[in-house]
Amino acid sequence: MSRVVLGVAGGIAAYKACELLRRFTESRHDVTVVPTAAALEFVGAPTWEALSGKSVATEVFENITEVPHVRIGQEADLVVVAPATANTLARAAHGLADDLLTNTLLTARCPVVFAPAMHTEMWEHPATQDNVATLRRRGAIVIEPAEGRLTGKDTGKGRLPDPDEIFALCCEVLVRGGAPTTDLAGRHVVVSAGGTRERLDPVRFLGNHSSGRQGYALARAAAARGADVTLVAANVTLPDPAGVKVVPVVTTAELRDAVLSAAVGCDAVVMAAAPADFRPVATSATKIKKADDGSAPSIELEQNPDILKELGTHRPGPATVVVGFAAETGDAGGSVLDHARAKLARKGCDLLVVNDVSGGAVFGEDDNEAVILAADGTSTPVPRGSKSALAHVIWDQVATRLS
Ligand code: CTP
């Protein structure tokens, strides 16, 4: 059971922290809530106490015999501040110790996650951006706010991400235990996910069953390791991972454009998407009708660009690590790994994550099992486990090549 400190600052999104608290307690984490005085203007102490099963304090002089201003931080496995206001980010960045939360942040030696929420102007202000940069430089994970409706009628960047996704990111951080938390800090990585669709007519398309879950697990894991993540998502219905920039696309051509433009100068690009290899030569503007004589239409296809090969042969940055995926079966021409080695060379990538699909495809499953082949000839088997676990092994391999 991990000990989590949930810091809550004084913003309207404090009500969403109640949901986050529930996720932690329902999954048997021991949670101490440390609200700021301003947070209690939005959600009162009884709510935090009822949901966490513990009394809460905001000032260092409460329950003084327990020396809470030192103990709470020292004992924590994770501190997450959600929402983190501009004021709390500033106090944390400057090392102030004027309430229980800021004291806790100074005594904590565990991973610290800030989930900022504020108006766009406050988020974009150079003072806030400097404070965020300072906190990130010191090893904290500061999640990029989501875009959308803010308090009042305005919209923009500054929303607290979905509490479920903040929880998922915190779990990724906790699962890594003592490993260096932010080994991808300062890195920009691009991940593609999902399956593209090629339009036949206004109602039909050619597509595939890719769920996008492995790509989303990769994006979430990278964000939890401090990376700046762009996720190009082809027809995925999963919620946006916290702090990740999601670019929705439909077709392989759109996926190519979005990946190539996001990847300029990036540190790593992981092609976990399943792009359609072919598209109809023409898309009918009207619905293709059945013929009375029972005949079926012929659809002429042309090949789509191979995005991974393009990235492998024309690197988008001087030191970009390029990672591909391959689902293979063995046949008379060679084993799964023979085909995969040939594909790695053909596509010119640094790493190829190989799934043996001889027993059936792995689309939509919770678990994954793979071998990671590297251009330097090494191979790393990853036993059956969660898609998140495989994602972390992939990022381990990428991080080694970046350093
Ligand atoms: N990929 C790509 N662009 C395409 C097709 C695939 O970038 N048009 C990427 C996938 O995202 C994945 C890898 O290439 O990372 C897998 O390719 P795969 O479909 O296995 O390779 P192909 O070259 O199409 O080989 P095969 O003939 O075995 O299908």
Tell me the pLDDT tens digit for each residue of 166-209: 999 999 999 987 677 899 999 999 999 999 999 999 999 999 99
What are the tens digits of pLDDT across the range 135-160? 999 999 999 999 988 887 888 999 99
Return the ligand 1 atom nearest residue 327 CA.
20
- Cis previous bond, 83, omega within 30: yes
pLDDT, position 244: 98
Across 61-82, average pLDDT:
88
Residue with tokens 């404070």: 131
Average pLDDT over residues 212-233: 97
Model pLDDT, residue 168: 97
First and final C-alpha spacing in the chain: 33
Judge if the beta carbon of residue 161 lies within 6 A of ligand 1.
no
Write out pLDDT tens, residues 17-34: 999 999 999 999 999 999
Q: What is the pLDDT of residue 17?
A: 98
The arithmetic mean of pLDDT across residues 326-353, rounded, is: 96
pLDDT for 360 beyond 90: no
Q: Which residues have C-beta within 8 Å of that of residue 9, sequence separation ≥ 6? A: 35, 36, 38, 39, 81, 83, 84, 85, 87, 88, 101
Task: Give yes or no for residue 336 CB within 6 A of ligand 1.
Answer: no
d(CA 227, ligand 1 centre) in Å: 25
* Distance between CA atoms of residues 225 and 212, nearest Å: 20
**CB 351 less than 6 A from any atom of ligand 1:** no
pLDDT in the model for residue 395: 98
Distance 346 CA to ligand 1 centre (A): 11
Question: Does 310 sit in the ligand 1 pocket, CB within 6 Å?
Answer: no
Strand partners, 181: none
pLDDT number for residue 133? 98
DSSP-derived 3-state class of residue 324: strand
pLDDT band at 384 (very low <50, low <70, confident <90, very high): very high
Place of tokens 């400057």: 94
Q: What is the pLDDT of residue 362?
A: 61
User: What's the average model confidence in pLDDT over 199-224?
Assistant: 97
The pLDDT assigned to 178 comes to: 67
Confidence of residue 5 (pLDDT cuts 50, 70, 90): very high
d(CA 149, CA 272): 31
| Res 152: pLDDT | 79
Among the residue ranges 143-152, 221-230, 290-299, 356-365, the one predicted with the least confidence is 356-365
- Mean pLDDT over residues 271-282, rounded? 97
Q: Which of 272, 244, 262 is nearest to 161 (CA)?
A: 244
CA–centroid distance for 223 within its chain: 5
Q: What is the total residue count of the chain? A: 403
pTM, rounded to two decimals: 0.95
Q: Encoding tokens for residue 24?
A: 């932690």
Instruction: For ligand 1, pick from 232, 306, 357 the residue to mutate: most ligand atoms within 8 Å of CB.
Output: 306
pLDDT (0 to 100) of residue 364: 67
> For 337-365, what is the mean pLDDT?
89
Q: Using the mean position of ligand 1's atoms as its centre, give its distance from the Cα of residue 308 in Å.
A: 7
pLDDT tens, 101-129? 999 999 999 999 999 999 999 999 999 99
Max Cα–Cα distance, the chain, nearest Å: 89
Whether the pLDDT of residue 298 is over 70: the answer is: yes
Residue 325 Cβ inside 6 Å of ligand 1? The answer reads yes
pLDDT class of 370 with cuts at 50, 70, 90: very high
Using a 6 Å cutoff on CB, does residue 324 contact ligand 1?
A: yes
The residue-averaged pLDDT of 225-243 equals 97
| Per-residue DSSP letter, 162 | P
Higher pLDDT, 57 or 65: 57
Q: Is 194 close to ligand 1, i.e. is its CB under 6 Å away?
A: no
Q: What is the best residue among 192, 206, 307 to mutate for testing ligand 1's pocket, by most ligand atoms within 8 Å of CB?
A: 307
Q: Give percent of the chain with pLDDT exceeding 90.
A: 89
- Positions annotated as catalytic residues are 208
Place 81 in a pLDDT band, splitting at 50, 70 and 90.
very high
Ligand 1 close to Cβ of residue 306 (< 6 A) = yes
Q: 403 falls in which pLDDT band (50, 70, 90)?
A: confident
Going from the Cα of 20 to the center of ligand 1, the distance in angstroms, rounded, reads 38
The pLDDT of residue 67: 78
Average pLDDT, the chain: 95
What separation in Å is there between the alpha carbon of 316 and the centre of ligand 1? 18
The confidence score (pLDDT) of residue 306 equals: 98
pLDDT of amino acid 354 = 97
Find the mean pLDDT for residues 72-95: 97
Long-range pairs of 244-248 with CB within 8 A, sequence gap ≥ 24: 244/144, 244/219, 244/220, 245/144
- Mutate which of 329, 336, 347 for ligand 1? The one with the most ligand atoms within 8 Å of its CB, which is 347
